[in-house]
Amino acid sequence: MPKIGFDARRAFLNQSGLGNYSREVIRGILAFHQDYKAFLYTPDTSKLFRDVFKEPNVRLKRPKRNRKQRFESTVKPLNPIQAYQWRNIEIVKSVIYGKIDVYHGLSNELPTRIDHFRGAKVVTVHDVIFKVYPDDFPRFDRYTYNKRTRNAVKKADAIVCPSAFSANSLNMHYAVSPNKIEIIHPSIQSAFYKDAPDQQSIQRFTNQWGIKKNYILCLGDIRPRKNQQKVVEAISLLKSLDIQLVLVGRSSGTYIDSIKSFIQQENLEEKIIWLNSVSTHDLPLLFYGAQALVYPSAIEGYGLPIAEAMLCKIPILTTQDSSMEEIGGSKISYVKANDVQGIADFIQSVVNEPSSFTYNLTEEERWHFSDERQAKELNNLYKRLL
């Protein structure tokens, strides 16, 4: 039975983003390719995800200090020096000692000493946005991300990218051979494959969050490249339109202050609903209840909300010249990233003529977003490397 090691830190400790990706990859391999024995490397687990990955062919690998604790740890977290030593030295020792066949770093990095490991080395590099939009990242973070990415792409036998756009960006900034890159689109969480919720459930959810009218959805971390302010500016051009804008995302830096200042200046308080985060379980309710998704991010490695919205078959507006066109194709609408009037025109059209934006997905298109498809493509990659 081949042994595969996963960097499972984010799978256990992150609720969204890279955490979702890591969980979907591991779950998919365990569900559809049970001939592997999986070793999950994480410094800790959390209460939220302590019951995942309990299959008999799974082994949890943790630092010696809390190895006997199967689930949530109550001991003091590793200090930075201990964390560095464990992630870059101890994991490699464990991988070698355990005779792992494939080690897959799921979040842009590999241990610095992974070259001592003679098995197959795979890394998923989601994006290099820190190179394109440096102002979105603190200086130390940019330095760290660059160092980790450079180490990973140099030492990996194969690099998984979530889109051709992301692969091209990686090649541009790190001169990676295209022969080393495997483009594997990420899967969408199973919650989006269930039947559409009934209107009563949607109504209860929207009432809970103070959403009182038809609404346009815009979600993603609140930061300049995500362009949420452009959507708010578009709403200001449509003050007579009886609709709300629901903004979902964590905030950092001063960008949110700029948005709030504009909202106050234009007296838009009644039109804007802020949600810091929504649980995975409730996300389909949020999508199905929306008139449309507006996702104006200037650049994304993939853009999961677009695929999620497509599974819910709601109208979508996103930006040109990034990975989003790989996802949406001709089924959705596009504008330039800073086209406020274009965003306003789309919202106006969705409200006035919703039937003109309807579309359906074929079974093949739905399967392309599934964990089974992602697991199949990853399994093919692993088999080639073994």
pTM of this prediction? Answer: 0.91
- Name the CATH superfamily for 3-187+370-385: Glycogen Phosphorylase B; (3.40.50.2000)
The second-level CATH assignment, the architecture, of 190-367 is 3-Layer(aba) Sandwich (3.40)
Residue pair 13/40 in contact by the 8 Å Cβ criterion:
no
Domain ranges of the chain: 3-187+370-385, 190-367
- The per-residue pLDDT for range 180-190, each reduced to its tens digit, is 999 999 999 98
pLDDT range class, residue 2, cuts 50, 70, 90 = very high
Strands (E), the chain: 3-7, 37-41, 58-61, 102-105, 120-124, 158-161, 181-183, 215-219, 244-248, 272-275, 292-295, 316-319, 333-335
Work out the percent of the chain whose per-residue pLDDT is above 90.
Answer: 75
In this predicted structure, what is the pLDDT of residue 76? 63
CATH topology identical between 3-187+370-385 and 190-367: yes
Residue pair 192/100 in contact by the 8 Å Cβ criterion:
no
Is the per-residue pLDDT at 38 higher than 90? Answer: yes
What does the longest C-alpha to C-alpha distance in the chain come to?
67
